[in-house]
Chain A
Amino acid sequence: QVQLQESGPGLVKPSETLSLTCTLSGGSISSYYWSWIRQPPGKGLEWIAHIYYSGSTNYNPSLKSRVSMSVDTSKNQFSLKLSSVTAADTAVYYCARTPAYYDTTGYNYYFDSWGQGTLVSVSS
């Protein structure tokens, strides 16, 4: 069974860069998309970005100027960097496997396996 685990600092200073890594166990990072999703305390879910195992990416336009994702297939890991953080970036950050379900009109992307989430607080 696929398991995902986020890791990274729980506290980041304003204007600095948030860096998180997601490590996959029980499966291969190949042949799937992989996403980051965040949830501010007490609020809803926001998709941040996804990456294909080949390295192609798709970013949320609201964060595009500050976000980057990368993948390391040799380590079964993918990573998130979010620069110039502010208090508004305080959230639980989840990584998730993102299968693509194909029908005759295109692809439906959904999140079928999630990490437990890691709270990142932005504060001086």
Chain B
Amino acid sequence: DIQMTQSPSSLSASVGDRVTITCRASQTTSGYLNWYQQKPGKAPKLLIYAASSLQSGVPSRFSGSGSGTDFTLTISSLQPEDFATYYCQQSYSTPYTFGQGTKLEIK
């Protein structure tokens, strides 16, 4: 299985901050890397697919980059509704695997 490791596991930030979350795979995933946002008690929501493609309806302050084994999710200017847990997910090979999550909290 491809292991996905996110860093940091938790992060405190303020509204307006620029935030970057990193996801590292144990082997190449090519560009088959997706990002999700999950709020408490809710299903995850797709933000970015194929490493850098913004899902329809997702604000442009979210962006993704990377290839191979190293990927990043960037939020350019944090909004109050962005405080949530973020997960990366690879689909290069089955079983599709997720990172352990990054909890973004209000400072």
A residues near B (Cβ < 8 Å) are 44-47, 58, 60-62, 94, 101, 103, 105-112, 114-117
Contacts and interface: CB of A to CB of B under 8 A. Distances in A.
Interface string B93-105: 0111111110000
Interface residues of B, number: 26
Contacts of B95: 47, 60-62
A58 B87 contact: no
Contacts of B34: 108, 110-111
B89 A108 contact: no
B53 interface: yes
Given A108-B31, A108-B91, A45 B50 contact: no
A109 B33 CA distance: 9
A103 B46 contact: no
Contacts of B33: 108
Nearest to A111: B46
Contacts of B100: 44
12 contacts: A44-B99, A44-B100, A60-B94, A62-B95, A103-B31, A108-B33, A110-B34, A110-B89, A110-B91, A111-B36, A115-B43, A116-B42
